[in-house]
Amino acid sequence: MNPEETLKGIPASAGVTIGRPFFLDSEGFSVQRQEIAEEEVAGEIARFEDALIQTRAEILRIQKKILEEMGKEQGEIFSAHLLVIEDRTLIEEVITRVKAEKVVVDYIFLDVLKRYIHAFSKIEDEYIRERTSDIEDVGKRVLRTLLGKQRQTLQDLKEPVIVVAYDLSPSDTALMHRENVKGFVTDIGGRTSHTAIMAKSLEIPAVVGLEEVTQRVSKDDLLIIDGAQGLVIINPTEETIRRYTEEQKRLEEFGRSLLKLKDLPAETLDGHRVTLAANIEFPHEIPSVIAHGAEGIGLYRTEYFYMNRVDLPTEEEHFESYHKVVQEVQPHSVIVRTLDLGGDKFLSQLDIPNEMNPFLGWRAIRFCLARPDIFKVQLRAILRASAKGKMKVMYPMISGVEELRQANALFREVKEELRREKIPFDEKIEVGAMIEIPSAALTCDLLAKEVHFFSIGTNDLIQYALAVDRSNEKIAYLYEPAHPAVLRLVKHIIDTAHKHHLWVGMCGEMAGDPRLALILLGLGLDGFSTSAVNLPEIKRVIRSVKMGEAKKIAEEALSLSTGREVEAYLEKMTKKIFMGEP
């Protein structure tokens, strides 16, 4: 057994877990580098050739069907696929490498394929660049055939494991709740990528941005994840295992003690009350939301509805989910955010072109306004559910007044349709705008006239204000919620909202940081919405200070010059409040 080794990454979801690795490729395949003996080489090559023949037959079958049902143009796509599978350079390279390296063909094939895809995606000629998706598609088919029955996906897990992956998409992570996943670690990714956010919702420890965890971990290693510190310990000693087993118990006890605050109000020592709500992705999270004492749902991310399926959700499906959630959190309210696709959330059933800058691209409300057919289905369902409990709706990625007016116009159209059809809904349903783009923050006095409330989406606001991709581990050190620019924007939004008598909440991850809670409280934020697991600690902070104190802390923090200075100051103040230090 190799000696203990510790890797440091970015903390994504707190908690400690111990287990064996399960390698997951980005396509959901578990492909491991495995050496073979000289006499096995011929068998591996035969297996590869068999897979090529089978895949070719499969493509011809599909092509025939498509030609019959959809015509020549659609069928032509598969001719391009056939060219890929008959490409001698690719085939020869795989065979040569299997012979030279004596490694299983699945691994070599995937490696060669990735290089091809990378090379093609960089080519300037648009026609050739577009062939990348053909290579991807055919590659997946061959791999599926190669792996055959050996293919293991998250759904096949028989025992608890720690998933080790280069990257995980939000749709991969969405499948984990049903599986034996005790935690996950990835090479890339940032603290507020949706994969990280999802780990918190699922309450599984996770560390992202470890850069080379997939290369450092081997099949038989034992792993410990320390989610709060962002550490992965490979092959821990007996002593380390003992220490972490105790830490696991301590964390469980701390969690239980915090839950005692569950039914107490989120108010300061001098009675200033705020709302503490939860962010969710799925209705099945509601029991945890209630257990952590949330006052309703401050952000219901609805993109997950559209993931891991081939068709679009129907109005009835939307309605059933909203209805369930709104009923279960009564008497509290639910803020449903309309479809926020794009950025790091892709939906396979919508044919959305690859973009150079997906976070700045055709996404969220921009997509919904261009596709009212899809948008209106969701708006109808939200309105219908508003007759069953307290529902509110908010739009993501609003960049200015025009978009907001267009969205509101569509909302009015849908209301009118329902009235005509005599379908009940809440005529007073509140509409909000997410403030997550600097242009919205700077024009929020104008936006205030078009909506009932604001919700500050700091995950995006920080990335746009500081020009730092939220999912890129290389620049994670620049992603600073305490940066003076962020604090000034947040203050401006809160002050402007209040000037216009609007309620203003925050639903980005910043709202779940107990130290920053002191500043947000002091700035006058009305509502905090974050992963349910964070809520008890935020409540503890709020219940430990007077409003005057929080205001002073906010004032002092805003006078500092750097994010680091703000963090150091908050560290000092938190110690003072909780440990009575001078």
Residue numbers at the binding site for ligand PEP (CB under 6 A) = 299, 301, 340, 436, 457-460, 507-508
- C-alpha 434/C-alpha 279 separation (Å) is 14
Contacts to Mg ion from residues 384-443, by CB under 5 A: 436
Start-to-end CA span in the chain (Å): 48
Query: What's the closest the beta carbon of residue 369 comes to ligand PEP, in angstroms?
Result: 18
- C-alpha 523/C-alpha 119 separation (Å) is 50
What does 296 bind: Mg ion, ligand PEP, none (CB cut-off 5 to 8 Å by kind)? none
118 is catalytic: no
Query: What's the closest the beta carbon of residue 509 comes to ligand PEP, in angstroms?
Result: 7
Contacts to Mg ion from residues 454-493, by CB under 5 A: 457, 460
What does 301 bind: ligand PEP, Mg ion, none (CB cut-off 5 to 8 Å by kind)? ligand PEP
> By C-beta, is 198 or 550 nearer to ligand PEP?
198
For 513-575, the three-class secondary structure string (H helix, E strand, C coil) is CHHHHHHHHHHCCCEEEEEHHHHHHHHHHHCCCCHHHHHHHHHHHHCCCCHHHHHHHHHHHHH
Query: What's the closest the beta carbon of residue 487 comes to ligand PEP, in angstroms?
Result: 15
- C-alpha 265/C-alpha 256 separation (Å) is 18
> By C-beta, is 78 or 528 nearer to ligand PEP?
528
Decide: helix, strand or coil at residue 278.
strand
CA distances from residue 274 to 260, 332, 505, 524 in whole angstroms, order as listed: 19, 14, 9, 9
What does 298 bind: ligand PEP, Mg ion, none (CB cut-off 5 to 8 Å by kind)? none
Q: Is the CB of residue 328 less than 8 Å from the CB of residue 286?
A: yes
Classify burial at 580, counting beta carbons within 10 Å of its beta carbon; exposed 0-12, middle 13-18, buried 19 or more: exposed
194 is catalytic: yes
> By C-beta, is 285 or 460 nearer to Mg ion?
460
What does 171 bind: ligand PEP, Mg ion, none (CB cut-off 5 to 8 Å by kind)? none
Q: Is the CB of residue 489 less than 8 Å from the CB of residue 465?
A: yes
> By C-beta, is 25 or 303 nearer to ligand PEP?
303
What does 458 bind: ligand PEP, Mg ion, none (CB cut-off 5 to 8 Å by kind)? ligand PEP
> By C-beta, is 116 or 464 nearer to ligand PEP?
464
> By C-beta, is 95 or 197 nearer to ligand PEP?
197
Classify burial at 151, counting beta carbons within 10 Å of its beta carbon; exposed 0-12, middle 13-18, buried 19 or more: middle
> By C-beta, is 522 or 527 nearer to Mg ion?
527
Query: What's the closest the beta carbon of residue 26 comes to Mg ion, in angstroms?
Result: 23
The reply to whether 303 sits near Mg ion by the rule CB under 5 A is no
How would DSSP label each residue in 405-465?
Answer: HHHHHHHHHHHHHHHHTT----TT-EEEEEE-SHHHHHTHHHHTTT-SEEEE-HHHHHHHH
Long-range contacts of 310-313 (CB under 8 A, 24+ apart): 310/348, 310/349, 311/349, 312/349, 312/350, 312/374, 312/377, 313/377
User: Among the options 81, 323, 444, 507, which is catalytic?
Assistant: 507
Classify burial at 44, counting beta carbons within 10 Å of its beta carbon; exposed 0-12, middle 13-18, buried 19 or more: buried
- C-alpha 366/C-alpha 406 separation (Å) is 10
> By C-beta, is 16 or 533 nearer to ligand PEP?
533
Query: What's the closest the beta carbon of residue 302 comes to ligand PEP, in angstroms?
Result: 10
What does 507 bind: ligand PEP, Mg ion, none (CB cut-off 5 to 8 Å by kind)? ligand PEP
Query: What's the closest the beta carbon of residue 477 comes to ligand PEP, in angstroms?
Result: 20
Q: Which two tokens stand for residue 183?
A: 């935690």
- C-alpha 363/C-alpha 567 separation (Å) is 33
Query: What's the closest the beta carbon of residue 132 comes to Mg ion, in angstroms?
Result: 28
CA distances from residue 321 to 63, 325, 533 in whole angstroms, order as listed: 38, 6, 22
What does 508 bind: Mg ion, ligand PEP, none (CB cut-off 5 to 8 Å by kind)? ligand PEP
Of all residues in this chain, which one has the CB nearest to Mg ion in the complex? 460
- Report the half-sphere exposure of 574 (CA within 13 A, side-chain side): 17
> By C-beta, is 261 or 507 nearer to ligand PEP?
507
> By C-beta, is 19 or 527 nearer to ligand PEP?
527
Gyration radius (Cα) of the chain, Å = 26
Query: What's the closest the beta carbon of residue 206 comes to ligand PEP, in angstroms?
Result: 16
Closest listed residue to residue 151, CA positions, set 47, 40, 254, 32: 32
φ, ψ at 16 (rounded to 5°): -120, 140
What does 463 bind: ligand PEP, Mg ion, none (CB cut-off 5 to 8 Å by kind)? none
What does 539 bind: ligand PEP, Mg ion, none (CB cut-off 5 to 8 Å by kind)? none
Query: What's the closest the beta carbon of residue 524 comes to ligand PEP, in angstroms?
Result: 19
How would DSSP label each residue in 330-381?
Answer: TTS-EEEEP---BTTB--TTS-PPP-S-GGGSS-HHHHHHH-HHHHHHHHHH
Query: What's the closest the beta carbon of residue 398 comes to Mg ion, in angstroms?
Result: 11
User: Among the options 81, 194, 318, 332, which is catalytic?
Assistant: 194
- Contacts with Mg ion, residue ranges (CB under 5 A): 436, 457, 460
Which residues are catalytically annotated?
A: 194, 507
